[in-house]
Amino acid sequence: MKKKGTLTNVFIVLGCLLILMLAIIGGVALYVWVNEKIESTNAAEVVEIFEEITYSQEEVEAQVASAVEAAVAEAVSGEADRILSGIADGLSDGDTVVETLRPYYPDDIVVVSGGQFHFIPIREDLARNDLVKENLNILDSGEYQYAVNGEVVSHKGIDVSKHQGEIDWARVGQTDVEYVFIRVGYRGYGNGTMVLDEQFERNIKGALSVGLKVGVYFFSQAITQEEALEEAAFVLEQIAPYKVDYPVVFDVEKVSDSSARMNQLSVSERTDITLTFIKEIEEAGYTPMIYHNMEMGAVLLDLERLEGYDKWFAYYSDKLYYPYEYKIWQYSEKGTIDGINGNVDLNISFTTWGG
């Protein structure tokens, strides 16, 4: 038993030193590198340097031995102790490596994308959210509420597709769910074929029949603006017979399959396609919205060009880390609602739409 405990401590220390190396490499070494670059570049080049810093796994691993040796040899006084203590606390709490790094880079969004750690400077010219952790209530059920001065100001919603099977909307209507986003359909990430969600008609009729507010979303894999127009036209045709008071959402995500067609787009191309869809929805008289996650918002979309459009943000943590404004927060994919078999996505919104 004693030997097992010793080995455990060794692994913990090695793990902490590895993360310490990341912090040191990302902070101290980066600081030195940037200053050296500043001395040998003009002002325009310096601006480019600060736009984004990334490290590949190979680059990190190549510096592990020397960085750890230097950190241990120099001891870095109380700062090393503080960092190590923070790292140990974070890892003990079950945080991931990227979550553990984030407190040491308060002016950046730290996110992993494409196998790299990205440190994206937080932009002051983009709308920020004013959410604070103290106002977030986590109920015994695991559901979230947001309250200001003791008054709940958030609104509970769900989003559904064929994956929830046949929903008993009469039972859902008896719960405290206020609204639902229903998937209209999707475009295949391989062949690009558009498909109507097989439960769309049943879901939208059922939700409206029990008095729920309804929004819709389309999972896009468009790779041209022409395809985005095709998707918008498809959605508008399907929702025309129904009362859709809540937003019509462009669901833009990076698919885990590396061959997925939309994954190959540049930031500019992906943003162009997103704008094409939401402008078409807006011109048709509906409220457009963009569904995205941390990686998409920080690395894969140009949020400056999407400023002013409502956002729906997916983030399954209570840390309130993402700085920019969003109207809906999808905080769980493992919710349970009476009338729905299995898990369902849970959302809270900070506003309402429609009459």
Which of 62, 95, 121 finishes a domain?
Answer: 121
Average the pLDDT over each of 29-43, 56-70, 338-352 and give the range with the smallest value: 29-43
pTM for the model = 0.79
Cα(339)–Cα(187) distance, integer angstroms: 28
Task: Please check whether residue 235 lies inside any domain of the structure.
Answer: yes
Say yes or no: 89 and 138 in one domain: no
Task: Please check whether residue 338 lies inside any domain of the structure.
Answer: yes
Say yes or no: 100 and 191 in one domain: no
Q: Has residue 311 got a pLDDT over 90?
A: yes
Q: CB–CB of 350/331 below 8 Å? A: no
Task: Please check whether residue 127 lies inside any domain of the structure.
Answer: no
Say yes or no: 297 and 185 in one domain: yes
Say yes or no: 96 and 43 in one domain: yes
Mean pLDDT value across residues 170-178: 98
Q: Has residue 210 got a pLDDT over 70?
A: yes
Model pLDDT, residue 14: 38
Task: Please check whether residue 354 lies inside any domain of the structure.
Answer: no
Q: What is the pLDDT of residues 22-49, one digit of tens each?
A: 544 444 344 333 344 334 434 333 333 3
Which of 121, 155, 185 finishes a domain?
Answer: 121
Say yes or no: 187 and 290 in one domain: yes
Say yes or no: 115 and 141 in one domain: no
Mean pLDDT value across residues 239-268: 94
Nearest-CA neighbor of 29 among 82, 66, 72?
66
Say yes or no: 11 and 108 in one domain: yes
Centroid of chain to Cα 79: 31
Helices 267-283 and 225-239 pack at an angle, to 10 degrees, of 30
Say yes or no: 14 and 63 in one domain: yes
Q: CB–CB of 27/4 below 8 Å? A: no
Q: Has residue 302 got a pLDDT over 80?
A: yes
Q: Has residue 127 got a pLDDT over 60?
A: yes
Mean pLDDT value across residues 265-290: 98
Say yes or no: 170 and 238 in one domain: yes
Q: How confident is the model at residue 55 (pLDDT cuts 50, 70, 90)?
A: low
- Domain of residue 343, residue span: 133-349
Q: Has residue 231 got a pLDDT over 70?
A: yes
Task: Please check whether residue 267 lies inside any domain of the structure.
Answer: yes
Model pLDDT, residue 79: 63
Model pLDDT, residue 188: 94
Which residue in the block uniquely carries the two structure tokens 């939401």? 278
Nearest-CA neighbor of 327 among 141, 189, 194, 129?
129
Model pLDDT, residue 25: 45
> Regarding predicted confidence, which is higher, 73 or 331?
331
Task: Please check whether residue 355 lies inside any domain of the structure.
Answer: no
* 51-55 long-range contacts, CB within 8 A, separation 24+: 51/121, 52/118, 52/119, 52/120, 52/121, 53/26, 53/118, 53/119, 54/116, 54/117, 54/118, 54/119, 55/25, 55/26, 55/116, 55/117
Model pLDDT, residue 35: 41
**Domains: count for the chain:** 2
Task: Please check whether residue 250 lies inside any domain of the structure.
Answer: yes
State the greatest distance between any 2 C-alpha atoms of the chain, in Å, as a whole number: 71
Say yes or no: 46 and 77 in one domain: yes
Q: Has residue 227 got a pLDDT over 50?
A: yes
Cα(173)–Cα(169) distance, integer angstroms: 6
Residue type, 219: F
Mean pLDDT value across residues 318-346: 97
Model pLDDT, residue 91: 65
Q: CB–CB of 44/74 below 8 Å? A: no
Q: How confident is the model at residue 59 (pLDDT cuts 50, 70, 90)?
A: low
SS3 223: coil
Q: Has residue 86 got a pLDDT over 80?
A: no
Q: Per mean pLDDT, which of 2-6, 259-263, 297-301 is the most reliable?
A: 297-301
SS3 311: strand
DSSP readout, 164-212?
G-S--HHHHTTSS--EEEEEEEEE-TTT--EEE-TTHHHHHHHHHHTT-
Q: Has residue 152 got a pLDDT over 70?
A: yes
Where residue 156 sits, what CATH number does that domain have?
3.20.20.80
Say yes or no: 83 and 171 in one domain: no
Q: Has residue 16 got a pLDDT over 70?
A: no
Distances (CA, A) of 347 to 49, 157, 164, 167, 327: 38, 5, 16, 18, 10
Mean pLDDT value across residues 284-293: 98
Task: Please check whether residue 89 lies inside any domain of the structure.
Answer: yes
Say yes or no: 315 and 187 in one domain: yes
Model pLDDT, residue 61: 59
Which of 66, 94, 121 finishes a domain?
Answer: 121
- Mean residue pLDDT across the chain: 84
